[in-house]
């Protein structure tokens, strides 16, 4: 089940609201848990059983870590917890990839039945592991109620595509939280904004990206158009999901941390990764980079730690060589910035720094996008972008695509910047006048209602509605 579906919007969510807000405080968690399990189980009961089994196993590991006293026993238990989680993740996500590469390297003919990847396993595995590790570190108290641990991991807004929520972030809110009119209003606004970003912008620029990347004979302008379209698609797809997840969480009284902070306004790759997929970046920082030594053991060790983190980041995204290459690509850029490039960038005008950042992450998204046929398509596409190759057919196609999708590209570029929040801030200044404040409030809700209505019409009239990050 996805947020951007007719069934979710007109059936699942209203029925959940009805049961949740009629339930007493003690029953609310169990209503949320039941609907979260239905949400995940919609895609296949056997994967629901797998997810529940993994969570309950981590629950028992955390209880064991809290119970035993000798530190070596705690270390053994946390090692077993991490090993079991990564083992399950590795089996489902990387077995076929390893067998294919071993067969290619050794000319063997091993056969493995195709393994279907459970939706969101990379996200909920990291989330469950972080709970056990935090209990081991003493950063959070062990939760004795298994249903609360299951609710923490399976909570449907962030279950299948993040953000990766730490247990200590919602620890108190699971046990004792209050829902307010302000939280409900903010949550609904955030959900509608995410819904519109997904349906209106991401789906349309995504259709353009798919069309261009599938074209056999590309010229340079068309290749750049495809790169721009995919750059916008992946941002509006994933940030839209995070907006909807954060909004839904707020409606039910949970305050999830932000996952995106307008990454496309960055002026360096380092800044970009402070703004993009923040929950994943901080997860790798806190559970991999810092335990390896971070930047505390000299420059050479820091570079090695960065190499490990970015190799794992690439692999985490998928069992394809392009993701490994994508991780290496960002490791090299971040290493160069760390060594000297940031100092050079600081001396350049702001516009040049911004152009540098845009070009680097656009090329990065091309590498990320070419996830079939090995890494050769990545190099071929990038070569076309840089080759200054122009054709009459390419010009004709370019004009057709710009006519059909130009409006969505412009909207995407504008709203990849904090335009909405700038306008909202300016409108809030009218609060000095009570009449204007009421008028602006009515106008704001009218705009949101209209935006939701337009988005819903787009949804029911379109068959193209992918969510990129579901496969991770």
Which residues carry out catalysis? 317
Distance set, CA 183 to CA 162, 241, 247, 267 (Å):
20, 19, 9, 33
Q: Cβ neighbours of residue 335 under 8 Å, at least 6 residues apart?
A: 303, 306, 307
- Range 46-55 contact pairs with CB under 8 angstroms and sequence separation of 24 or more: 47/118, 47/119, 50/88, 50/118, 51/118, 51/121, 51/124, 51/153, 51/154, 52/150, 52/154, 54/85, 54/88, 54/124, 54/125, 54/128, 55/124, 55/128, 55/149, 55/150, 55/153, 55/154
162: exposed, middle or buried (C-beta count within 10 Å: 0-12, 13-18, 19+)? buried
The first and second tokens of residue 287, run together, are: 């559970």
58 and 125 in contact (C-beta within 8 Å)? no
Alpha-carbon gap, residue 270 to 261, rounded angstroms: 13
Distance set, CA 117 to CA 1, 57, 114, 121, 294 (Å):
15, 20, 9, 8, 32
């Amino acid at each position: 089940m996805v947020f951007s579906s007719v069934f979710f919007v007109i059936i699942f969510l209203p029925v959940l609201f009805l049961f949740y807000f009629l339930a007493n405080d003690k029953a609310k968690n169990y209503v949320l848990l039941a609907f979260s399990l239905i949400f995940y189980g919609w895609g296949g009961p056997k994967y629901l059983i797998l997810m529940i089994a993994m969570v309950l196993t981590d629950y028992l590991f955390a209880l064991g870590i809290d119970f035993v006293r000798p530190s070596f026993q705690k270390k053994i238990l946390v090692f077993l917890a991490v090993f079991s989680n990564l083992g399950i993740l590795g089996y489902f996500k990387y077995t076929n990839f390893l067998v294919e590469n071993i067969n290619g390297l050794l000319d063997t003919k091993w056969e493995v039945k195709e393994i279907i990847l459970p939706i969101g396993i990379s996200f909920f595995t990291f989330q469950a592991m972080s709970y056990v590790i935090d209990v081991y570190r003493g950063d959070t108290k062990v939760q004795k109620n298994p249903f609360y641990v299951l609710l923490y991991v399976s909570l449907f807004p962030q279950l299948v595509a993040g953000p990766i929520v730490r247990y200590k972030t919602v620890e108190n809110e699971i046990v004792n939280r209050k829902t307010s009119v302000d939280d409900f209003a903010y949550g609904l606004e955030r959900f509608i904004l995410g819904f519109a970003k997904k349906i209106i912008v991401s789906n349309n620029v995504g259709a353009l990206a798919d069309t261009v990347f599938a074209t056999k004979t590309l010229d340079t302008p068309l290749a750049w158009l495809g790169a721009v379209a995919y750059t916008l698609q992946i941002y509006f797809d994933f940030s839209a999901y995070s907006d909807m997840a954060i909004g839904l969480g707020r409606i039910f009284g949970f305050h999830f941390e932000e996952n995106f902070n307008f990454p496309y306004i960055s002026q360096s790759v380092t800044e970009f990764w402070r703004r993009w997929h923040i929950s994943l970046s901080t997860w790798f920082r806190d559970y991999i980079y810092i335990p390896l030594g971070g930047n505390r053991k000299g420059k050479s060790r820091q570079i090695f730690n960065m190499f490990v983190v970015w190799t794992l980041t690439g692999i985490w995204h998928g069992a394809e060589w392009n993701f490994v290459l994508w991780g290496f690509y960002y490791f090299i850029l971040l290493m160069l910035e760390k060594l000297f490039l940031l100092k050079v960038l600081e001396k350049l005008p702001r516009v040049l720094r911004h152009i540098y950042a845009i070009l680097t992450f656009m090329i990065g998204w091309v590498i990320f996008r070419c996830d079939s046929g090995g890494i050769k398509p990545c190099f071929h596409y990038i070569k076309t972008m840089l080759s200054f190759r122009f054709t009459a057919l390419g010009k004709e196609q370019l004009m057709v695509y710009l006519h059909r999708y130009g409006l969505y590209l412009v909207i995407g570029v504008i709203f990849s910047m904090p335009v909405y929040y700038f306008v909202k801030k300016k409108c809030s200044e009218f609060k000095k006048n009570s009449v204007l404040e009421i008028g602006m409030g009515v106008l704001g809700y009218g705009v949101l209602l209209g935006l939701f209505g337009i988005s819903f019409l787009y949804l029911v009239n379109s068959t193209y509605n992918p969510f990129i990050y579901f496969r991770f």
